[in-house]
């Protein structure tokens, strides 16, 4: 059985001014491309490798987190999410 909410039971919708919002620091998996805890979209034409990239990223992270990331330029992702430009 599907339960429906009456207008009296529905959560209240309220508006907030942007000036009333307190900014919070963003933590990064890969600065400035992949923020932690946020939605990230992979966009591109068919055949560009979006699925391959997503699977490779998931595999790398499952093997040791951001410290294990190595990118095409030979750099690595530091604990703060910034990529180094050296091969080590």
Domain boundaries, given as residue ranges, for the chain: 23-39+47-88
Alpha carbons 38 and 27: distance in angstroms, whole number: 10
Sign of the CA dihedral running 33, 37, 43, 46: positive
The model's pTM: 0.53
pLDDT given at position 42: 94
Q: pLDDT confidence of 70, banded at 50, 70, 90?
A: low
Tokens of 71: 């990118």
Cβ-contact 27, 37 below 8 angstroms: yes
Alpha carbons 71 and 85: distance in angstroms, whole number: 10
pLDDT higher than threshold 70 for residue 67: no
For residue 28, which phi and psi values (nearest 5 degrees)? Answer: -120, 140
pLDDT digits (tens, 9 = 90+) for 9-58: 778 888 999 999 999 999 888 888 888 889 999 999 999 999 998 998 88
In the block, tokens 């034409």 appear at 45
pLDDT given at position 30: 81
């Amino acid at each position: 059985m599907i339960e429906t909410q009456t207008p009296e039971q529905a959560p209240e919708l309220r508006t907030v001014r942007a000036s009333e919002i307190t900014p919070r620091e963003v933590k990064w998996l890969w600065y400035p491309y992949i923020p932690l805890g946020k939605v990230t979209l992979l966009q591109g034409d068919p055949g560009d490798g979006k699925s391959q990239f997503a699977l490779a990223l998931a595999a790398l992270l499952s093997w040791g987190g951001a410290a294990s990331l190595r990118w095409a330029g030979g750099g690595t992702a530091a604990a703060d999410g910034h990529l180094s430009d050296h091969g080590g």
